[in-house]
Amino acid sequence: MHLPLPDTALRRRLGRLAALTLPLALLYSAPASAGTCTQRTERHTDPNTGQTWQKAFYCTNADNTTMYAGPNDSTPVATMKTTNSWFVCWRRGERHAGGNNVWYYSKGDTSRSGWGGRKAWGYMPAVKLTTSVDPAPGMPECRPDMWQAEKKVSDPNTGKSWSTVWYGRNDAGVKLYRDADTKVTTGYLDSTTSWFVCYKRGATHAGGNNVWYYTQGDRSTSAYKSRRGWGYMPATNLHARKHPYDSIPACPSPGSKPPAPPPPPPAGNYVLPLPRAAFERTIGSLTHHHWGDNYWAIDLMVPTGTPVYSVSAGVVTKYSQGTCGNGLSIKGDDGLSYLYCHGARYVGVGPGERVRPGQLILYSGNTGASGAPHLHLEIKKWVGNWSTSPAYCSQRFLRAIYRGQPQSPTRFPAKGGNCKAP
């Protein structure tokens, strides 16, 4: 969870002092309406949900504030740069540093990498707004809605995988069915904020329509354990503005073939960090240093969404963020440290987890200090400090793996040597 900084408490205190003492009021140039939001007649349409609002509420907020995917989803999707911004509605969700669970919905100024499709719409925790009371008086509550999130889920029953899910509010303890009818129960959904991957039309249910949503339940019925809880839920149990919800796709029909999964990497102590075909398209990367600079690493130019595999067996030590973007550090069983950077998204592999060579650890992307989609791979012998740890030439190491002769990176030149693998 990215906890917002509790700077609003300070702003609020300053605001109150300003109201009491004139000199401070002159020094602190807060607007006269600090602590309240100003209502204006203004039309805003959210392309994610199709909703239109005729009123906007202008509130003071912290600068460069992160907007999140949902009030219960701490994925950053956008940034709000303005400090007097409009908001259209509020919703309750996760409790944040402001001491309450109110989140405000608006359109930010810039989208985060990989989230351009949302057009910067997202939720800001109330702690980032200078409001005297939350929710802000007069502002409407957001209507029941679904929100998209990037999440990798696979259904073993159909072999189909999804990388986007739709979260929504549902009744507690609802039944899931084998098909879009109420004949056979396969599982139960205990959570009341749940994700769904697609919808299907079937039998008309108590909600008066024939829309059913497909998801993985929290429990299976004993007769359907092998389905791992997957099943259809009648739309009547889902609190959404409309059914089917605007942007959720129809479930694939049974006859359609699922896309072929990426071929498994070859066995061995070391494997390529990418599917072989993707690696071949960036093989030119082996012929030069890390963009000619004095830095021992490799940049493999691959499109966003390319699977990234662990080169070695080892244990994930941490999520590496900042300039590395969505990255991972892995301590290899060989004693070396492997750093993978700029991923589009994680796949549920995190610190403490053991990985085997060829295990999917990330999807490549363009996050962090990255000018174009690529995978940055750096291999070092850990000596207690990343910057002084000696680095090995990934170029020659990867070429050896590619040629079917995997051997330890320590067999190749270290920092100071020639990394080019012609």
Report the C-alpha gap between 214 and 180 in whole angstroms: 9
Q: Give the range of 30-38, 239-247, 267-275, 369-377 binding Zn ion by CB under 5 A.
A: 369-377
Question: Whole-number minimum distance, CB 325 to Zn ion, in Å?
Answer: 10
378 binds Zn ion (CB under 5 A): no
- Only one of the segments 18-26, 181-189, 291-299, 306-314 lies at the binding site for Zn ion (rule: CB under 5 A); that segment is 291-299
> C-beta of 371: minimal distance to Zn ion in Å?
10
Whole-Å CA distances, 299 to 173, 308, 332, 366, 405? 48, 13, 20, 12, 21
Extended strands (E) in 23-98:
38-45, 52-60, 65-70, 73-80, 84-87, 89-92
The least CB distance from residue 292 to Zn ion, in Å, is: 12
User: Residues 203-222: x/- map of binding to Zn ion (CB under 5 A)?
Assistant: --------------------
Q: Output the smallest distance, CB 288 to Zn ion, in A.
A: 12
**Residue 246: DSSP 8-state:** T
**What are 176's two structure tokens?**
């899931």
Q: How far is the CB of 140 from Zn ion (least distance, A)?
A: 47
Beta bridge partners of 111: 78
What single-letter DSSP state applies at residue 18? Answer: H
* Other CB atoms within 10 A of residue 240 CB: 22
Q: Which is nearer to Zn ion, 290 or 399 (CB)?
A: 290
Q: CB of residue 355 vs Zn ion: minimum separation in angstroms? A: 21
Whichever of 46 and 299 has its CB closer to Zn ion, that residue is: 299
Closest CB to Zn ion among residues 205, 376 = 376
Q: DSSP state, 145?
A: -
Q: Coil, strand or helix: which one is 284?
A: helix
State how far the Cα of 73 lies from the Cα of 404, in Å rounded to an integer. Answer: 43
Nearer to Zn ion among residue 18 and residue 339 (C-beta): 339
Nearer to Zn ion, 103 or 392 (CB): 392
Q: Residue from 11, 91, 205, 376 that binds Zn ion (CB under 5 A)?
A: 376
Q: Which residues pair with 80 in a beta bridge?
A: 65
Q: Smallest distance, Å, CB 290 to Zn ion? A: 6
Please report whether residue 342 would count as binding Zn ion according to CB under 5 A.
Answer: no
Region from 1-9, 105-113, 144-152, 292-300 binding Zn ion, contact rule CB under 5 A: 292-300
- Residue 196 DSSP class: E
Whole-angstrom Cα distance, residue 348 to residue 344?
13
CB-based contact 41:27 (threshold 8 Å):
no
| Residues 294-313 interacting with Zn ion (rule: CB under 5 A) | 299
Instruction: Give the binding-site size for Zn ion (rule: CB under 5 A).
Output: 2
Closest alpha carbon to 175 in 241, 248, 236: 236
Q: C-beta of 284: minimal distance to Zn ion in Å?
A: 15
Which residues are at the interface with Zn ion (CB under 5 A)?
299, 376
